[in-house]
Amino acid sequence: MIEKLEALFERQLRAWPLLAKGVEGLARAETRPVRIDRYEVLVRHIPHRVGSTTAAVDRESIARRPCFLCAANLPAEEEGLPFGDDLTIYCNPFPIIDRHLTITYCEHRDQRIAGNLGRMLDLATALPGYFVIYNGPECGASAPDHLHFQAGLRNLLPIEKDTQCANGITLPDYGRNVFILRGRGRSAIIDRIERAIELLAATTGGRAEPMINIAAFHDKDEWVTYLFPRGKHRPNVFHTGELTVSPAAIDLCGIFVVPLARDFERINGADIAAIFREVTLPEDQFREVAAKLENER
Ligand SMILES: [Zn+2]
């Protein structure tokens, strides 16, 4: 799979100017480390992300535009690699990380993780060196109407290093609420993630799916998954215009995307810590779900 992907990137960089521009843009992107407590977050200035950061994802706006993930609407130059008979892997023309991929279901259907975790784990297994992410329809997916994942190389990803020695399902003082679930058995880890999602749904209520971002990778015969339960989609500073940021899975994993130069210059660890606290699930609800999950171990 990796060889086929490398060949796909090579072909698409030649054939698809938008991708070439995005990859060049990423190569020029400045990255600056900031600290939250004893952990590092990489702030990355990527001007070409401004469209995704500010994308309107309300029902009416989505209904008004043609779906940009449906095969029939893709640019003529865009080519994908099939993954099984249900998924296609594409190069993301607005990359945040190296080898940024968008992986879409062939069928146009709503962004929902229920019933699709297995495919996410399969992708993680097929893509050594990568991590795979899922952004919930109300917390970062810019196509909430078409089921998709993203993936990319994880060599820069702070969370992998941050959680290497963590034994529990949570990491104290991490500055953001995250469940860390690991396992070697495919069905056992799917059950565990589904149970976490079920508990979150029961605690937060009122939605088809609790607000969630997920990241997963496969290494040394083990899946490592991160579940970020969300309290809200965008932070207040986005709505007031103070900072144009809208964190999703990659940001929560420690690569914080900032499309505007003025924000990149002034944003600091305390700002990011406050944003993480604001958009992830409030502490009391997080503790409640964590305690239940721990008890079921
Ligand atoms: Zn679609």
**pLDDT (0 to 100) of residue 140:** 86
Least confident of 54-63, 83-92, 166-175: 54-63
CA of 186 to the centre of ligand 1 (A): 28
CA of 143 to the centre of ligand 1 (A): 8
The rounded percent of the chain whose pLDDT value lies above 70 is: 100
Q: How far apart are CA 29 and CA 45, in angstroms?
A: 6
Q: How far apart are CA 124 and CA 122, in angstroms?
A: 5
Asked whether the predicted pLDDT for residue 206 surpasses 80, the reply is no
pLDDT tens by residue, 100-119:
999 999 999 999 999 999 99
pLDDT tens by residue, 264-279:
999 999 999 999 999 9
pTM, 2 dp: 0.96
CA of 94 to the centre of ligand 1 (A): 18
Asked whether the predicted pLDDT for residue 287 surpasses 90, the reply is yes
CA of 227 to the centre of ligand 1 (A): 25
**pLDDT (0 to 100) of residue 268:** 96
Cβ atoms < 10 Å from Cβ of 237? 17
Asked whether the predicted pLDDT for residue 57 surpasses 90, the reply is no
Closest CA to 148 of 9, 249, 6, 12: 249
Q: Give mean pLDDT, residues 204-212.
A: 87
CA of 66 to the centre of ligand 1 (A): 8
CA of 158 to the centre of ligand 1 (A): 32
Q: In which domain, by residue range, is 191 found?
A: 2-295
CA of 73 to the centre of ligand 1 (A): 8
Least confident of 9-13, 39-43, 138-142, 225-229: 138-142
Q: What's the total number of domains in the chain?
A: 1
Helix (H, G, I), strand (E, B) or coil at 216: strand
Asked whether the predicted pLDDT for residue 167 surpasses 90, the reply is no
CA of 176 to the centre of ligand 1 (A): 32
Q: Give mean pLDDT, residues 178-194.
A: 96
φ/ψ of residue 81, rounded to 5:
-110, 125
The pLDDT mean for the chain works out to 95
**pLDDT (0 to 100) of residue 216:** 98
CATH label of the domain that carries residue 25: 3.30.428.70
Structure tokens at 289: 């779900």
Q: Over 265-286, what HEC string results?
A: HHCCHHHHHHHHHHHECCHHHH
**pLDDT (0 to 100) of residue 297:** 73
CA of 104 to the centre of ligand 1 (A): 9
Closest CA to 254 of 35, 34, 42: 42
**pLDDT (0 to 100) of residue 158:** 97
Confidence band for 154, pLDDT divided at 50, 70 and 90: very high
Amino acid identity of 100? H
Q: Give mean pLDDT, residues 13-39.
A: 96
Asked whether the predicted pLDDT for residue 51 surpasses 80, the reply is yes
Least confident of 14-23, 103-112, 118-127, 202-211: 202-211
Q: Give mean pLDDT, residues 195-213.
A: 91
CA of 70 to the centre of ligand 1 (A): 4
**pLDDT (0 to 100) of residue 173:** 87
Task: Calculate ∠ Cα 40-249-85, nearest 5°.
Answer: 140
Asked whether the predicted pLDDT for residue 91 surpasses 80, the reply is yes
For 149, half-sphere exposure in the C-beta direction (CA atoms, 13 angstrom radius) is: 28
